[in-house]
Structure 1
Amino acid sequence: MLRNSLKLSFRNLLKNKVYSGINISGLAIGMAGAIIIFQLVSYHLGVDRYHRNAARTYRVVVDLHLEDGSVEKEKGSAYLLHETLKKEYGDVESASYLAQKELTIAIGNTNPKKFLEKENAAFTNPDFFKIFDYQWLSGNAAVLNAPNTAVLTERYARKYFGKSNPVGQYIRVNNQENVVVAGIVKDYPELTDFKKDIFVSLPTLKKLVPEYGYQDWGWIDSGRETYITLRSAEDRAAFEKQMPAFSKRYYGADSKVFHYHLQGLADVHFNVDYGGKIKYSTIIMLGSVGLLLVLIACFNFINLSTAQAFKRGKEVGVRKVLGVSQAQVFWLFIQETALFTIIAFVLAIALAGMMAMLLTDWLGIHIQSSDLTDIGFVIFILILLVFVVAMAGFYPAVMISNFNPLLAIKGLAGQHVNGHFPIRKGLVVVQFAISFVMIAVSMVIILQSRYLKNKDLGVDKDLVVHINLPDAESGKIATFTNEVMRLKDVASVSFFRTPPSAQLGSGGSIKFENRDWEKFVARSRVADNNYVKTYGLKLVAGRNLAASDTLRELLINQKLVKALGLKSPDEALNRRLLVGDADKTGVIVGVLSDFNNSDLYTEIEPTVIFSMLKRYRQAGVKLAHLGPGTIQDIERVWSKQFPDQVFQHSFYDDEIARFYQREELTSRLTSLFALLSVFLSCLGLFGLAVFSIEQRTKEIGVRKVLGASVMSITGLLSKDFLRLVLIAIVIASPAAYYFMDKWLQDFAFRIDIEWWIFAISALVAAGIALLTVSFHSVKAALMNPVESLKSD
């Protein structure tokens, strides 16, 4: 019985090649999109969930409640925190301090190999390996109790020492300390945000950076985080209740500023307020898009199946007359749907594989199209197949199995089908409504991404080369400046801690003249007197800083002038300002036009600029022209002053573009899935147009005989479908506006949602639909009327 049914299903599939091809293609594309989105969502939901203690592991974060009512969310913590929590709270099983720091590594004594490790190096204590799961190949976590010890991952052991045994060998760190390799751990898996390959002991950090405020509770750095494991996940609420008393004990009167709380390990990857990689809302959006793609594909199948139903009316009528029950007819058509779905699924896996390669390249993470060893993926596939078969097959199977056998045998089943036209039209409206929303939202994301890249930040970001400064020594800086300024392509050189627009920056309270501490925080930019020229900052009052190695004079921005309640920039000149971040007082000698001192998620903040040689960490070289050998010339000069360091440069405009990498990826993803949704909708519309024109072949012939033009016939055949698309656009516009406005709310600087965005999106959707329908309309209108009238 099953064999015969499958034979009939295959014959029907081959008999109606066009409709079968459209149905299979639609289902394949919809399922491919769903599969790739499932794998993408699974990747993000699985990050760092594999650790044994993940459910009771937390990052200790602090919210800084400032007197002006604002709250700064800080993922970093004071050095003292991890030791204090473990010593004073019995609920804390393990506590670790993880300090990321850029390191220069040298291997060997004569002609050493040098490596600059920007992201892969960190300082930590043994508890890190109790909190997070690593497989030890040699040594154990206790080696990190001693100074000048390090643990490497397997791949970095090979990178530094090749095939020789790395344990017991030395690496030279920052040309300051010899550190022995005391342990090797297996490489970290893909599903982690802790992508570190060099773990150096905390006592070594104190030797390398002795000036850091290790005993200062107020010294908080975003690159230095505290992680703890509680003895039980149920202890979290009780532990957090003790945090206010903890802050009062160690911060005294300032405890109202420092609000500590725990962030679950599962939340670290998603909470962008504390440096997370992706928002939960983006995961929900992706999951919704995957479901919508499958629904659009199923709607196509329903539309084409019901449109074709009357063609099989006689077959159904004969079956019923011969004793086949309604239930048997129902299951026959469900079986056909299952056959279509399985064939489409095979194609979907191939399509998902191609999409996975594209997304892996875009996102920088490995996305699999299929993994049958993953039980979660297998369960998803089974649910997807059952859902598609039920969603796409149930309604057509019910409708066909309900045919009246007498009407069906007489060829009058079409009368029965006509009652279902409103449902088909409704599904077309839903499909294009979804597509319109995705087109409109994609347009806004693309426009906002372009706006972020091109907005005037109040600084000159073009042709500025950034170089890390390993040693802020006055003599070396002066020599480097003099020599590099002799290069024909160099316009200016500046030394500083961070550039004008940077996501990382310091700041603190300020005291103006004899007033009390201000209720707001001012951001600090530590830089020399060439900073203004190099970055094209604009003075609106006063003069630039005089050359100095320490804080004597200050530049402030207009935002700070307003925050201080001064009437004009001139009123701020020659007034004294105590900078809490530096614990020194200087004289305001100039006021700068406002510039964005962070990314465009945040408003322009009050800012103060001052010189302090010992805090300089970078050099900025402004180029008049970028020639073929310009960077090599700069490297040659730099290497003379810092021969033991690795030269590495970056361009300022590229750094700023990386601020908005998340938006760029979101733009690509939404554009890709919007394209898929439009293609699926048009695929269904194409099939319905073919069916509709087949039904009206004689009418077209009669109209041509009576003198109708090709244009009028094309318009007649297209207008019904175009009307459905226009209805979809009207219905979907409020939803599109809601999603666009919701997404833009994250940005302090954003585009306006203009009427023309809706107009262009509508034109795109309607234009694509019109082209889809017109192809067959024109073809039908050009047909010889004699042939049209002969058609049966």
Structure 2
Amino acid sequence: MKLKFTLRVLNRNKLFTFLNIAGLALGMAGGILVFQLVKYHLSVDTYHKNADRIYRAVVDLHLGDGQIERSKGSAYILHSTLKKEYPAIEQTSYLAHRPLTIAVTDKRSVRKYLEKESAAFTNADYFRIFDFTWEIGTPAVLDEPNKVVLTERYAEKFFGIQNPIGKSMKLENQQEVVVAGIIKDYPANTDFKTDIFVSLPTIKTLMPNYGYEDWGWIESSRETFVMLRSKDQKESFEKQMPAFSKKYHGADSEVFKYHLQNLSDIHFNVDYGGTIKKSTINLLLVIGVLMVIIACINFINLSTALSFKRYKEVGVRKTLGSSQGQIFWQFISETAVVAVFSIVLAVVLASVAAPMLSQWLKTPLSITLLSDFKLIGFLVLLLITIVFIAGFYPAMVIANFNPLKALKNITELPKRFTLRKGLVVTQFSIACILIAVSLLVVLQLNYLKNKDLGLRKDMILHVNIPNPEVDKLTTFKNQLLQQANIENVSFFRTAPSSKTGSGGSIKYENRDWEKFVARSKMADEAYIDTYGIKLVAGRKPVASDTLRELMVNEKMVKNLGLKSPEEILNKKLLVGDLSKTGTIVGVVADFNNTDLYTGVEPTVIMSARALYRYAAIQLKGYNPNTVQDIAKIWEQLYPDNVFEYTYFKDDVARFYEREELISNLTKTFAALAVFISCLGLFGLATFSIKQRTKEIGIRKVLGASVFSITALLSKDFLQLVLISILIAAPIAYYFMAAWLKDFAYRVSIEWWIFAATGIVAVIIALLTISYQAIKAALANPVKSLKTE
């Protein structure tokens, strides 16, 4: 009976019921999506049964100039040495990622694949540290040479439905490996997305010149993982690391500081290549809570406003014997019904939005109620919380009506309306903060993508080079330069601005090792012309296969304490990266080696043909036929490999994927917050205008214009929006300044950002209110005066 009465009441006030359900549903949908996002990130790699004992051995390089460089990579020799010397370690593993060209032969053809990120070399202990389900084989095969283990999806990719065990694959067109094991596909919530595991002994065949015994040879793509016998041993183990560094690094032990990074920290620590900051997770949580709060404010405002329409009903019910508690629980049950409808709609909306948001944010995101018990628990908790928060105050207001005043239609409107004004201000303040912050994030992201790096980004194509043989490189370059749309060609190991790179100590002339580290760019003599890097002194190096002559940037000159670029010319420089000395023949203008989190660094540009991995091809203009022409030339020279290309501009843009994520999040939820706020504002404007119907009629009879009435009805709400802007500005400024601290290059927080936020908020509020205001102003005054 109570449910039937509740549904009848909701049906009688269709507009307000719709606005309540829509507002709550949108807020809940935002909360559900945030919950799923946060749940995913917090669950990454937590499924390993020994997760609390698993660590990555990382090294911090403490440089003489006070800087600290943090590397997730480590020397090859570290994993075996740690296991041999420390009984506290149960297992150690080395994981070395490397792009591989893989050839699979069947009866009809040879199929080639270029696997850039899915292939790695590792040993058996990797599968004793991390949890994988073996379908065929055992981890021991990875301690044998020329073996490979595949995930199920890659086994199917390479061999179809046939049994792949015993089948051979050729790596880099030179080394055959045999499939010796199949493991189940890894779950979505992992950062270790490897599908091709090549046995560790095989790496020495493919890379015979790598510094396997060199403690200083550290690359970010080569990681060491450790599993301790007990998590309590971490502290005592790390206390032994200084002595370990002293033993193997000698005089450089003050530079190399080892420690263990918890598995739970890997996903969140961006200093060591993490995916997302903990601060971003906290931001997500705040946004999710704000979405629900905004929705609850909507409900409270609309419910308390609507309660005055039921003043007499409550008076009659109290006169007929209904207690305050009965009326209270009746209105709580109405809130519960609205909340149930809202949460069902919220789940539908979240399910529709999840795939699109997942693609946009590049994060696995889905709504699966039947199997996701955490989500079910969250929905139940969310429902209870919303019924309590959103329903308690309106129910108390209604239950406390004085029956005599109610029957005489005497209301306490001014007091209640003051509270609703405060809630509207709170709601729009949140929306304005999100608008301002999202605007700044977009500005910063555009600034990062378009800032002058001191080099050319446009019209440069990067093509992989499988084999840097001098004859092939010469032929490739000569044939490319014959193409009408190609301006220049250079061969290199890393681009001028790159996420990967190398560096090391340097010795200038007869001085001691410098206290700072110099970045190394192994490239040929055409490098600076191709990338448009300005030569400020001297000349370009003479073409050479190995280090003889080199160039440095202006930052290097400054760090060496020299007064002018000319002063450094024709001086000797020992480059620690290659342990070779060259003559400095040129100085180039500063350019950024990596993303814009860091500033310009001292840089050396030098020849090292054996290390070249890519060709940079400067185009005169974008033409799809040019890529096809390049591919034909490339395939003639490297028929056993897979052609691949990227545009340099796109490579640089990928530096800022984290900022892209934050930008997309803030824009999405700012729009949602504004829309929910507008629903509430629309409902309140509708109610307020209905309350003043007679007043509007009288004003029209006395000669008031449509414009003046519309302005009168809009004024109160616009005042609230303006107050919201004033409150939001300092709070938004605080969050903006905190976020920008991480960037070496950043936009300024200009006054116009807040002005633009205010203008947007006012325009949105005006559009929301104006429909009802104009409709009321245009109404027939005779009908208005008849309104009871």
Percent identity, aligned pairs only, is 60
**Equivalent residue, structure 2, for 1:746:** 742
**Equivalent residue, structure 1, for 2:67:** 70
Q: Supply the distance in 1 between the matched residues of 2:721 and 2:361 (Cα, whole angstroms).
A: 34
Q: Supply the distance in 1 between the matched residues of 2:137 and 2:726 (Cα, whole angstroms).
A: 67
Specify the SS of the correspondent of 2:503.
strand
The match for 1:168 among 166, 169, 184 is 166
Q: Following TM superposition, by how much is the alpha carbon of 1:482 offset from its aligned partner in structure 2, in angstroms?
A: 1.2
Q: 5 Å matches for 1:94-109?
A: 94-108=91-105
Q: Which amino acid aligns with 2:290?
A: L
Any idea what the Cα deviations from partners look like across 1:740-779, whole Å, max 9, x if unmatched?
A: 1111111111111100001001110111112211221111
Q: Is the 8 A contact 1:309 1:417 kept in 2?
A: no
Q: 5 Å matches for 1:472-621?
A: 472-621=468-617
Q: Is the 8 A contact 1:437 1:735 kept in 2?
A: yes
Query: Does residue 1:355 correspond to 2:368, yes or no?
Result: no
Q: Supply the distance in 2 between the matched residues of 1:628 and 1:432 (Cα, whole angstroms).
A: 49
**Equivalent residue, structure 2, for 1:657:** 653
**Equivalent residue, structure 2, for 1:250:** 248
**Equivalent residue, structure 2, for 1:686:** 682
Q: Following TM superposition, by how much is the alpha carbon of 1:28 offset from its aligned partner in structure 2, in angstroms?
A: 0.4
Q: Which amino acid aligns with 2:128?
A: K
Q: Supply the distance in 2 between the matched residues of 1:193 and 1:510 (Cα, whole angstroms).
A: 35
Task: Say which is worse superposed, 122-131 or 238-247, in terms of deviation.
Answer: 238-247
Q: Following TM superposition, by how much is the alpha carbon of 1:498 offset from its aligned partner in structure 2, in angstroms?
A: 0.5
Specify the SS of the correspondent of 2:274.
coil
Q: Supply the distance in 2 between the matched residues of 1:333 and 1:272 (Cα, whole angstroms).
A: 49
Specify the SS of the correspondent of 1:24.
helix
Task: Say which is worse superposed, 334-343 or 309-318, in terms of deviation.
Answer: 309-318
Q: Supply the distance in 2 between the matched residues of 1:714 and 1:417 (Cα, whole angstroms).
A: 22
**Equivalent residue, structure 1, for 2:441:** 445
Query: Does residue 1:637 correspond to 2:633, yes or no?
Result: yes
Q: Supply the distance in 2 between the matched residues of 1:366 and 1:252 (Cα, whole angstroms).
A: 46
Q: Supply the distance in 2 between the matched residues of 1:326 and 1:417 (Cα, whole angstroms).
A: 20
TM-score, structure 1 normalization: 0.98
Q: Following TM superposition, by how much is the alpha carbon of 1:374 offset from its aligned partner in structure 2, in angstroms?
A: 2.0
Q: Supply the distance in 2 between the matched residues of 1:580 and 1:364 (Cα, whole angstroms).
A: 39
Query: Does residue 1:203 correspond to 2:201, yes or no?
Result: yes
Query: Does residue 1:775 correspond to 2:771, yes or no?
Result: yes
Q: Following TM superposition, by how much is the alpha carbon of 1:218 offset from its aligned partner in structure 2, in angstroms?
A: 1.0
Q: Following TM superposition, by how much is the alpha carbon of 1:416 offset from its aligned partner in structure 2, in angstroms?
A: 2.6
Query: Does residue 1:421 correspond to 2:417, yes or no?
Result: yes
Q: Which amino acid aligns with 1:298?
A: C
Specify the SS of the correspondent of 2:624.
coil
Q: Supply the distance in 2 between the matched residues of 1:282 and 1:764 (Cα, whole angstroms).
A: 26
Q: Is the 8 A contact 2:38 2:284 kept in 1?
A: yes
**Equivalent residue, structure 1, for 2:220:** 222
Q: Supply the distance in 1 between the matched residues of 2:567 and 2:196 (Cα, whole angstroms).
A: 52
- Unaligned residue ranges in structure 2 (runs of 5+): none
Query: Does residue 1:54 correspond to 2:14, yes or no?
Result: no
Q: Following TM superposition, by how much is the alpha carbon of 1:135 offset from its aligned partner in structure 2, in angstroms?
A: 0.7
Q: Is the 8 A contact 1:403 1:416 kept in 2?
A: no
Q: Is the 8 A contact 2:123 2:143 kept in 1?
A: yes
Q: Following TM superposition, by how much is the alpha carbon of 1:169 offset from its aligned partner in structure 2, in angstroms?
A: 1.0
Q: Supply the distance in 2 between the matched residues of 1:625 and 1:693 (Cα, whole angstroms).
A: 61
**Equivalent residue, structure 1, for 2:717:** 721
Task: Say which is worse superposed, 442-451 or 236-245, in terms of deviation.
Answer: 236-245
Task: Say which is worse superposed, 386-395 or 480-489, in terms of deviation.
Answer: 480-489
Q: 5 Å matches for 1:95-134?
A: 95-108=92-105, 111-134=109-132
Q: Is the 8 A contact 1:349 1:370 kept in 2?
A: no
Q: Which amino acid aligns with 1:597?
A: N
Q: Supply the distance in 2 between the matched residues of 1:659 and 1:364 (Cα, whole angstroms).
A: 15
Q: Following TM superposition, by how much is the alpha carbon of 1:625 offset from its aligned partner in structure 2, in angstroms?
A: 2.7
Query: Does residue 1:79 correspond to 2:76, yes or no?
Result: yes
- Unaligned residue ranges in structure 1 (runs of 5+): none
Q: Is the 8 A contact 1:458 1:593 kept in 2?
A: yes
**Equivalent residue, structure 2, for 1:29:** 26
Q: Supply the distance in 2 between the matched residues of 1:326 and 1:240 (Cα, whole angstroms).
A: 65
Q: Is the 8 A contact 1:469 1:618 kept in 2?
A: yes
**Equivalent residue, structure 2, for 1:467:** 463
Q: Following TM superposition, by how much is the alpha carbon of 1:366 offset from its aligned partner in structure 2, in angstroms?
A: 2.5
Q: Supply the distance in 2 between the matched residues of 1:344 and 1:571 (Cα, whole angstroms).
A: 73
Q: Supply the distance in 2 between the matched residues of 1:551 and 1:71 (Cα, whole angstroms).
A: 28
Q: Supply the distance in 2 between the matched residues of 1:614 and 1:343 (Cα, whole angstroms).
A: 67
Q: Following TM superposition, by how much is the alpha carbon of 1:539 offset from its aligned partner in structure 2, in angstroms?
A: 0.6
Q: Which amino acid aligns with 1:316?
A: V
Q: Following TM superposition, by how much is the alpha carbon of 1:489 offset from its aligned partner in structure 2, in angstroms?
A: 1.4
Q: Supply the distance in 1 between the matched residues of 2:765 and 2:277 (Cα, whole angstroms).
A: 34
**Equivalent residue, structure 2, for 1:234:** 232
Q: Is the 8 A contact 2:597 2:743 kept in 1?
A: yes
Q: Supply the distance in 2 between the matched residues of 1:770 and 1:239 (Cα, whole angstroms).
A: 64
Q: Which amino acid aligns with 1:129?
A: F
**Equivalent residue, structure 2, for 1:179:** 177
Q: Supply the distance in 2 between the matched residues of 1:111 and 1:611 (Cα, whole angstroms).
A: 39
The match for 2:384 among 386, 390, 408 is 386
Q: Which amino acid aligns with 2:89?
A: V
Specify the SS of the correspondent of 1:629.
helix
The match for 1:671 among 663, 667, 673 is 667
Q: Supply the distance in 1 between the matched residues of 2:562 and 2:415 (Cα, whole angstroms).
A: 75
The match for 1:335 among 303, 313, 333 is 333
Q: Supply the distance in 2 between the matched residues of 1:136 and 1:290 (Cα, whole angstroms).
A: 39
Any idea what the Cα deviations from partners look like across 1:225-258, whole Å, max 9, x if unmatched?
A: 0111111111111111111111111111111111
Query: Does residue 1:297 correspond to 2:305, yes or no?
Result: no
Q: Which amino acid aligns with 1:234?
A: D
Number of equivalenced pairs? 787
Q: Following TM superposition, by how much is the alpha carbon of 1:364 offset from its aligned partner in structure 2, in angstroms?
A: 2.9
Q: Following TM superposition, by how much is the alpha carbon of 1:370 offset from its aligned partner in structure 2, in angstroms?
A: 3.7
Q: Supply the distance in 2 between the matched residues of 1:687 and 1:731 (Cα, whole angstroms).
A: 23
Q: Which amino acid aligns with 1:47?
A: V
Q: Which amino acid aligns with 1:537?
A: I
Q: Supply the distance in 2 between the matched residues of 1:751 and 1:352 (Cα, whole angstroms).
A: 34
Q: Following TM superposition, by how much is the alpha carbon of 1:532 offset from its aligned partner in structure 2, in angstroms?
A: 1.2
Q: Which amino acid aligns with 1:229?
A: M
Query: Does residue 1:762 correspond to 2:762, yes or no?
Result: no
Q: Is the 8 A contact 2:361 2:664 kept in 1?
A: no
Specify the SS of the correspondent of 2:629.
helix
Q: Following TM superposition, by how much is the alpha carbon of 1:602 offset from its aligned partner in structure 2, in angstroms?
A: 0.8
Specify the SS of the correspondent of 1:633.
helix
Q: Is the 8 A contact 1:529 1:546 kept in 2?
A: yes
Specify the SS of the correspondent of 1:420.
helix
Q: Supply the distance in 1 between the matched residues of 2:566 and 2:705 (Cα, whole angstroms).
A: 77
Q: Which amino acid aligns with 1:614?
A: A
Q: Is the 8 A contact 2:94 2:224 kept in 1?
A: yes
Specify the SS of the correspondent of 2:600.
coil
Specify the SS of the correspondent of 1:259.
strand
Q: Following TM superposition, by how much is the alpha carbon of 1:783 offset from its aligned partner in structure 2, in angstroms?
A: 1.0
Query: Does residue 1:458 correspond to 2:467, yes or no?
Result: no
Specify the SS of the correspondent of 1:660.
helix
